Amino acid sequence: MEQVSTNNAFGGAQGVYKHASAATGTEMTFSVFVPPHQPGTKLPVVWYLSGLTCTHANVTEKGEFRRICAELGLIFVAPDTSPRGPDLNGNAVPDDPAGAYDFGLGAGFYVDATQAPFDRHYKMWSYVTEELPTLIADNFPADMTRQSIMGHSMGGHGAITIALRNPGRYASVSAFAPIVAPGQVPWGEKALAGYLGEDRATWRRHDAVALIEDGARVADLLVDQGGADSFLTQELRPELLESACKTAGIDLTLNLREGYDHSYYFISTFMADHLRWHATRLIKD
């Protein structure tokens, strides 16, 4: 692991790091904020998964999380959203053939691709759930028995599906404007078909609504959604998650924030609310 940069912030340290990833076969970059703490103290970890087109830098630069993380004593980890090229052998990482923003580079959808040519590098599920947690545990003062996960849009999809499929690993899960039913919306249909193939039965393991319908559970779930989000009715469809959670008995807090859009102006406004919500589940007296 190589340190790219580090900056003092709110008494802690905001770092950016890169490493050669075995999962993706590429160099991967991520950021970690470590709050002020006593030497030897192990701190709870909040994972933040970003949305389409983003890298680690979007939330790191615009998420406004450091003050509250310093106050609460939370490590904040932000991975990239896809492999980037060239790979470790010097070859280009495949991208959307038409250069679209919603597939390929910047749009890994937090799955392990099974379809060529994407199956060689697009292993974001394994990267986020296996490889990067090991790296964090080995290099930072992280208490890996106390983890929570959150995300935005495509990253909200990733956070909820990862929590649903790993019961007991995460103390809590939340999302901003998540893609809750990718098997039923254009963004998800394109991505899941491209990465996993045309058999829709295989998509259900990466679809929050389908996972809940199939019996997966979390104790509770916090979602904030902007009422002025241009993607609300076609791509996000929070009413599907609301219905699934009601049927399953999952305690969903769904906040519709009138006038807010899909941007980091929206996310940064409610970031502290989410981090406090996670802290109540991570930090016990």
Rounded-to-integer distance, Cα 280 and Cα 73, Å: 12
- Owner of token pair 């160099």: 27
Query: Which among 49, 48, 52, 53 is positioned nearest to 65, based on CA atoms?
Result: 48
Of the residues 153, 174, 207, 224, which is catalytic? 153
Q: Which of 80, 112, 229, 274 is catalytic?
A: 229
Round to whole Å and give the CA distance between 63 and 271. Answer: 7
Catalytic annotation present for 278: no
Residue 262 annotated to the active site: yes
Residue 126 annotated as catalytic: no
Of 121, 157, 262, 278, the catalytic one is 262
Q: Which residues are catalytic?
A: 153, 229, 262
